Amino acid sequence: MSQEVRVRFAPSPTGHLHIGGARAALFNYLFARNQKGKFIVRIEDTDQARNVDAATEKLMESLKWLGIEWDESVDVGGPHEPYQSMERLDIYKKYVEQLIQEGKAYHCYMTEEELEAEREEQRARGETPKYSGRDRNLTEEQKKAYEEEGRKPVVRFLVPQGQEITVDDKVRGKVTFDSDGIGDFVIVRQDGIPTYNFAVVIDDHLMEISHVIRGEEHLSNAPRQVLLFEALGWTPPVFAHASLILNEDRQKMSKRDESIIQFVEQYRDLGYLPEAIVNFISLLGWSPGGEEEILTKDELIEQFTLDRVIKAPAVFDTQKLAWMNNQYMKEADEDRVVWLALPHLVKAGRLPEMMTDEQKKWAYDLIILHQEKMSFGAEIVKLTELFFKEEIDYNGEAKEVLAGEQVPEVLRAFKGKLEEVEDFKAEEIKKAIKAVQKETGHKGKNLFMPIRAAVSGQTHGPDLLQTISLLGRTVVKKRLDSLL
């Protein structure tokens, strides 16, 4: 095993980057940077039936968007090329042959129907289904007979019997497995392509991977991989299995769970900030040293150690994510916030794709008016509804305010003063409201609340003067007229 810390993220190109995968990549990246080591992205594409066209490119794009950089991969190369499993078939073949020659692996000719019948018999006896080992000791004549039937063999690894397999896990401590519960497992399929468990062991050794940091769902793979490392005379890497990620009902998160947005690309498309997503994901199963939860990437790198990765399941709290992204949105550069939000107003048909300079300025001001409240870019559509409605709905609180006895007097005076305003901007509107106060004697809530309720249908919202200015003279006059 390499003295230098070398870690890897090895996704299968079967779709978009899932939150669980993003966390695995992030933990590996943070650990590598903390330890001044190397982070490798390797593509595990041996399961050809599940591979999706262009998935590798999309996975890499999502990692780049998150700001997770790698030192070696399919795009930048490195000393252990190639970094894609299907380009390494000749490498795997050498080690398969070695295991067969040493009597540690063998050809198995059982059909899927025979295997299923065997499993059914085991279930009927109350046993956990596993391969029985029927073809462990076939003679050359038996092999030849099967091949004459047209059968193509798989290669199975011969699991030692009666052996305790201990995985010394940096998160979970020592985890022990009984080899008798595993059964001889397939390391090469009928088509000659190795399985994940075999390819990953060869790649991890040859690429000098020092630590394997991944989700708890991979813990069941660890004993098989340890057995393969030992059979080949190699030292296994250090394992660290991070906790499961649960949904808000504390159930294991499944990709079919629609209560949570689960793919990184979806967050990007909704107008989330990548640094907020990184901050949030880093806290799913890892605890920083202090109380502070808002952490920059550099701060995460500085603090990240495996001894602070938590064994208990992590709960994906959607409200906390919204809160955290809002904290970042508040601090973000105004141009960046507009860039995130504006496409959603266009997509919703609120604004044209081609805008005049005046329309662009209005849209810019509208978005910045709502920057403090925005949790993500797409939310601008809901937040700005009242600016695009012909008729507005008055909520309960607004109706209560508008029932006040002073309201008709305030609104009539306000309407009159607005007609005198030449430049319909916040500063001039402020002067008009002061003039209403002087004329009517009403001030504070008795003055401002009726005006806000009348023009917006609400009693709370962004800056009132900017809101009135952006609504425009025609809309405000119409709303006042309809009430009076």
User: Which residues are catalytically annotated?
Assistant: 255
DSSP letter (8 states) at residue 141: H
Distance CA 474, CA 267 (A): 37
Q: How many helices and strands (H and E) does the chain possess?
A: 20, 11
Whole-angstrom Cα distance, residue 378 to residue 31? 33
Q: What is the 3-state secondary structure (H, E, C) of 190-202?
A: CCCCECHHHHHHH
Calpha distance 227→223 (Å, rounded) = 6
The tokens 């001030």 sit on which residue?
443
DSSP 8-state class, residue 73: B
Calpha distance 447→466 (Å, rounded): 17
DSSP character string of 302-363? HH--GGGB-SSPEE--HHHHHHHHHHHHHHS-HHHHHHHHHHHHHHTTSS-SS--HHHHHHH
Show the tokens assigned to 469. 């200015």
**Distance separating the N- and C-terminal Cα atoms of the chain:** 81
Question: Which position has the token pair 């978009």?
Answer: 16
